[in-house]
Chain A
Amino acid sequence: RKEVEQDPGPFNVPEGATVAFNCTYSNSASQSFFWYRQDCRKEPKLLMSVYSSGNEDGRFTAQLNRASQYISLLIRDSKLSDSATYLCVSGYSTLTFGKGTMLLVSP
């Protein structure tokens, strides 16, 4: 069974903090890797793709370690609006979603 495992949290952090999420995936054939964000069980929205070389988008940095089958997301300078559930995603022809890690950013 092809799984994506994440710590469910919640991660409670103050505004301005740096927070890191990790996940592991079991399907070694996976070629696609993403982080999605889901608010209050609305539709998931793409946050960023993840590459082995690492990629950065503003305050967000994602990293993929293929050897360890491990994906990470780093959020710097947390904002209140970052409060959401972050979904780790991997797959080949279909995408498998983790159950998500909940982030709560407080004033």
Chain B
Amino acid sequence: NAGVMQNPRHLVRRRGQEARLRCSPMKGHSHVYWYRQLPEEGLKFMVYLQKENIIDESGMPKERFSAEFPKEGPSILRIQQVVRGDSAAYFCASSPRQARTNEKLFFGSGTQLSVL
């Protein structure tokens, strides 16, 4: 199954630690999107990346959060000095082209981050 792969599925961190979430897009997809889903909330866009470039980071919190999609390897969402409010499901999605004019997104299974 060459779907969108995210790891880990579950990540537990204590307050103040760093969380690293990984996403490998579907084969042939060069566009990656990160979404966050807080408990009892909808999916919120965080960041859109194309290989080696951040295209749109309008949904990223201003501090502690960063994302990258290097030429080789998976996309990484990094959260520094985690706080309890960061506990959420983080979903990655990919597409073969920019998401316009009915370009579908394919989602990974998500990473559930729990901050103790």
Residues of A participating in the B interface, judged by any CB pair closer than 8 Å: 31-34, 41-46, 49, 51, 87, 91-100
Contact = CB atoms under 8 A, between A and B. Distances in A.
B7 to A, nearest CB: 14
Contacts of A42: 109-110
Nearest to A34: B104
Nearest to A43: B107
A43 B102 contact: no
B107 A45 contact: yes
Contact of B99 (A51, A87, A95, A98): A95
Contacts, number: 60
B33 A94 contact: yes
Given A34-B104, A87-B42, A96-B45, 8 more contacts: A32-B100, A45-B107, A49-B104, A91-B99, A93-B55, A94-B45, A94-B48, A97-B42
Contacts of B60: none
Interface string B89-116: 1010000001111111111111000000
Contacts of A99: 41-42
A17 B91 CA distance: 32
Contacts of A49: 102, 104
24 contacts: A31-B101, A31-B102, A32-B100, A32-B102, A33-B102, A34-B102, A41-B37, A41-B89, A42-B110, A43-B107, A43-B110, A44-B91, A46-B105, A87-B42, A91-B100, A92-B100, A93-B55, A93-B56, A94-B33, A94-B48, A97-B43, A97-B44, A97-B45, A98-B42
